[in-house]
């Protein structure tokens, strides 16, 4: 009985983690920016405001604020969304930068990235087809 | 004359166009931090000078709006920035915590900042205003307003960030009026390595660059209040250095911080101040160690050689528990250790009522608490601290309960 219970728990945990891992994101950037790829640490530093320029332009991150964007913070930035926001409150209260813009839908994030010369953001991978011609999709390298 | 006027007009027109083309953005933020505390009755030194005895203080519940902050940040393109941080401590009066302008000289690598600013120093000096964001209610002993190790603010800074492997190195060099006596050059340095946001390792150092003097000088009979930097009010001069290291780990669950700092002081006390403290009629409570350090027993030959050392270190850990739609809860534990051989108990004279009443100048504090954040801008904090120190040969431990509710807003 105990073994069966353990198997069920492990299977559930595996299923749950698969769901999280399957949540994939496309990193999008303004068409004016030259790079076709970005490293994970470069992306983190831009999102946390430690790096304020990207490919010679002032980096202007746009975030997806809806629930569809939650896993991005944990799987790619390595912090919870709440902690991410807290880090930005710290930065704003010390003059270290201004928090990224937040948009509620993938379409709005695409428009936000397209409008800023140094625009960079993320959207759920399935929504990347909506980005055709408006923004470019960057390859995310480790 | 006319060509000169024309040139000026053309230059002004060009300047106006440039300004219009540049992207000026201004954002306003602020927060309110309400606070309440209740200490158990605490052992205290009573009396004055060599006639000091052990007594007890009655502590009542204290309520206060500890801080109201109004913050404004403005950027002009990606090269210029200005920052204003107004504070109303205790909701009484307004003071300028920060007011500076900054220009980027070489991208992220080098910026120049001038005005009044918090110096980058250790984990907390710059972020101490951001109360809703960190674990704990009280600042680390290093930045306790009763006994700062160094001034929190300074006036000029060169700083920047550069890549280092997978991480970043952030560096800053500061100088300013600080507590200098005349032409000294006080210098502060902070270098920190940040890897993947999760790891931060840093070191900070400060030198007074020669003689420093107290910002709040000793007032005979009391009233100087707490020192605004590392120099105690009863010093005539003080050459001092502060140095130490810190580390932080942060992920979606854990926050772990540790820090260790030392301050070495080569100081000369003010004779009149020492004589006033030692005065058995009008002086301030002094334990045996302090009476001996000041040589109170020999009137007229009080000791003005005030060399001493301060040590402050802490470990803080919090664990973030998501509570679904109800926000998140972060239980935390903290240990603070502080040793100051020179300070006295009386805060009105610039002392500290923990290390200053301790027999050996050492005090430690264990804290357990919790932060509940229903939403990012709101933090409800509650904690309990146990202060440990020996007062006149007996255990002087006491507990303290604190509650804080803070709200951050943004326009």
* Residue B271 burial class via C-beta count within 10 angstroms: exposed 0-12, middle 13-18, buried 19 and up: middle
The helix/strand/coil state of B136 is coil
C-alpha B169/C-alpha B127 separation (Å) is 18
- Residue B81 located in a structural domain: no
C-alpha B62/C-alpha A63 separation (Å) is 42
Q: How confident is the model at residue A4 (pLDDT cuts 50, 70, 90)?
A: low
| Residue B322 belongs to domain with CATH number | 2.40.160
Q: What is the mean pLDDT of residues A57-63?
A: 91
A41 to B29: CB separation less than 8 angstroms, yes or no: no
Q: What is the mean pLDDT of residues A129-139?
A: 88
The CATH number that domain A24-141 falls under is 3.40.190.10
Which residues of chain A lie closer than 8 angstroms to B102, CB-CB? 95
Mutate to test the interface with A, among B130, B194, B409 (most CBs of A within 10 A): B130
- Residue B174 located in a structural domain: yes
Mutate to test the interface with B, among A39, A44, A47, A89 (most CBs of B within 10 A): A89
| Number of compact structural domains in chain B | 1
Report CA-CA distances (Å) from B282 to A48, B222, B273, B285, B380: 56, 10, 12, 10, 43
- Residue B91 located in a structural domain: no
pLDDT score for B224? 82
pLDDT at B261 over 50: yes
pLDDT score for B18? 53
pLDDT tens-digit readout, B208-231: 999 999 999 999 888 888 899 999
Domain spans, chain A: 24-141
B127 to A45: CB separation less than 8 angstroms, yes or no: no
B196 to A82: CB separation less than 8 angstroms, yes or no: no
pLDDT score for A14? 43
Q: What are phi and psi of B3, to 5 degrees?
A: -60, -35
Q: What is the mean pLDDT of chain A?
A: 83
pLDDT score for B6? 53
Report CA-CA distances (Å) from B396 to B288, B292, B339: 16, 21, 16
Q: What is the mean pLDDT of residues A19-24?
A: 48
User: Percentage of residues in chain B with pLDDT exceeding 70?
Assistant: 95
pLDDT at A12 over 50: no
pLDDT at A75 over 90: no
pLDDT at B366 over 90: yes
User: Percentage of residues in chain A with pLDDT exceeding 70?
Assistant: 84
pLDDT score for A19? 41
Q: What is the mean pLDDT of chain B?
A: 89
pLDDT at B1 over 50: no
In this complex, which of B85, B98, B133 lies closest to A90 when CB atoms are compared?
B133
B73 to A48: CB separation less than 8 angstroms, yes or no: no
In this complex, which of A58, A78, A85 lies closest to B196 when CB atoms are compared?
A78
pLDDT score for A83? 83
Q: How confident is the model at residue A18 (pLDDT cuts 50, 70, 90)?
A: very low
C-alpha B295/C-alpha B275 separation (Å) is 10
Q: What is the mean pLDDT of residues B122-139?
A: 89
pLDDT tens-digit readout, B112-130: 999 999 999 999 999 988 8
pLDDT score for A13? 45
Residue B339 domain boundaries: 32-64+100-410
State pTM to two decimals.
0.87
pLDDT score for B3? 54
The tokens describing B18, both together, are 């440039």
Which residues of chain A lie closer than 8 angstroms to B251, CB-CB? 78-79
Which residues of chain B lie closer than 8 angstroms to A89, CB-CB? 130, 132-133, 376-377, 408
For residue B100, the cross-strand partners are B83, B115
pLDDT score for B50? 82
Q: How confident is the model at residue A22 (pLDDT cuts 50, 70, 90)?
A: very low
In this complex, which of B73, B197, B376 lies closest to A48 when CB atoms are compared?
B197
Q: How confident is the model at residue B12 (pLDDT cuts 50, 70, 90)?
A: very low
Which residues of chain B lie closer than 8 angstroms to A52, CB-CB? 78, 108
pLDDT score for A7? 57
pLDDT score for B410? 84
Report CA-CA distances (Å) from B216 to B227, B229, B284: 6, 9, 17
Q: What are phi and psi of B56, to 5 degrees?
A: -140, 140
In this complex, which of B25, B29, B102 lies closest to A92 when CB atoms are compared?
B29
User: Which residue is closest to B328 within chain A, CA to CA?
Assistant: A82
pLDDT tens-digit readout, B269-286: 999 999 999 988 878 899
For residue B334, the cross-strand partners are B316, B367
The answer to whether B178 touches B212, Cβ cutoff 8 Å, is: yes
pLDDT tens-digit readout, B282-328: 788 999 999 999 999 988 889 999 999 999 999 999 999 988 888 88
What ipTM was reported for this prediction? 0.79
pLDDT at B54 over 80: yes
A93 to B25: CB separation less than 8 angstroms, yes or no: no
Of the candidates B405, B273, B404, the residue with the CA atom closest to the CA atom of residue B346: B273
The DSSP result for B73-116, as a single string, is: EEEETTTEEEEEEEE-GGGSS-EEEEEEEEEEEETBTEEEEEEE
Which residues of chain B lie closer than 8 angstroms to A95, CB-CB? 71, 73, 81, 83, 85, 98, 100, 102, 117
In this complex, which of B127, B129, B252 lies closest to A83 when CB atoms are compared?
B252
pLDDT score for B8? 47
- Residue B289 located in a structural domain: yes
pLDDT at B380 over 50: yes
């Amino acid at each position: 009985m105990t073994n069966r219970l353990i198997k069920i728990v492990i299977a559930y945990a595996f299923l749950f983690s698969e769901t999280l891992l399957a949540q994939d994101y496309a990193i999008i950037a303004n068409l004016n920016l030259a790079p076709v790829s970005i490293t994970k640490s470069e992306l983190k530093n831009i999102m946390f405001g430690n790096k304020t320029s990207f490919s010679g332009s002032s980096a202007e991150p746009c975030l997806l604020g809806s629930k569809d964007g939650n896993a991005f913070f944990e799987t790619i930035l390595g912090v919870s969304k709440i902690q991410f926001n807290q880090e930005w409150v710290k930065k704003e209260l010390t003059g270290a930068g201004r928090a990224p813009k937040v948009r509620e839908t993938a379409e709005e994030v695409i428009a936000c990235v397209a409008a800023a010369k140094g625009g960079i953001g993320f959207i759920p991978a399935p929504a990347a087809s909506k980005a055709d011609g408006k923004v470019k999709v960057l390859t995310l390298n480790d | 004359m006319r060509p000169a006027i024309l040139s000026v007009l053309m230059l002004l027109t060009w300047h106006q166009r440039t300004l219009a083309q540049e992207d000026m953005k201004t954002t306003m933020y602020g927060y309110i931090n309400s606070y309440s505390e209740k200490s158990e009755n605490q052992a205290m030194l009573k009396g004055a000078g060599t006639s000091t005895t052990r007594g007890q203080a009655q502590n009542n519940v204290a309520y206060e709006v500890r801080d109201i902050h109004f913050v404004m940040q403005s950027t002009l393109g990606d090269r210029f920035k200005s920052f204003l941080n107004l504070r109303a401590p205790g909701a009484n009066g307004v003071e300028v915590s920060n007011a500076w302008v900054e220009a980027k000289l070489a991208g992220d690598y080098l910026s120049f900042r001038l005005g009044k600013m918090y110096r980058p120093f250790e984990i907390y000096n710059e972020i101490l205003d951001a109360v809703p964001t960190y674990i704990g209610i009280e600042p680390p002993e290093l930045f306790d307003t009763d006994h700062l190790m160094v001034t929190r603010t300074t006036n000029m800074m060169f700083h920047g960030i550069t890549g280092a492997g997978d991480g970043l190195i952030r560096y800053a060099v500061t100088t300013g009026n600080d507590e200098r006596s005349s032409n000294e050059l006080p210098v502060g340095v902070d270098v920190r390595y940040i890897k993947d946001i999760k790891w931060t390792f840093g070191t900070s150092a400060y030198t007074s660059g020669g003689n420093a003097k107290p910002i709040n000088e000793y007032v005979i009979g009391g009233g100087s209040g707490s020192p605004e930097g590392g120099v105690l009010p009863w010093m005539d001069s003080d050459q001092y250095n502060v140095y130490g290291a810190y580390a932080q780990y942060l992920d979606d669950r854990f926050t772990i911080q540790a820090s260790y700092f030392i301050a070495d002081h080569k100081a000369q006390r003010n004779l009149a101040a020492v004589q006033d403290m030692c005065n058995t009629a009008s002086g301030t409570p002094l334990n045996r160690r302090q009476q001996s350090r000041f040589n109170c027993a020999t009137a007229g030959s009080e000791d003005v050689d005030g060399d001493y050392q301060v040590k402050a270190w802490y470990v803080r850990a919090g664990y973030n528990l998501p509570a679904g739609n109800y926000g998140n809860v972060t239980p935390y534990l903290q240990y603070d250790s502080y040793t100051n051989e020179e300070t006295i108990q009386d805060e009105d004279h610039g002392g500290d009522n923990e290390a200053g009443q301790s027999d050996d100048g050492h005090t430690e504090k264990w804290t357990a608490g919790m932060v509940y954040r229903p939403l990012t801008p709101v933090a409800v904090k509650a904690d309990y601290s146990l202060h440990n120190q020996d007062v006149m040969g007996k255990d002087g431990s006491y507990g303290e309960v604190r509650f804080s509710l803070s709200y951050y807003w943004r326009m």
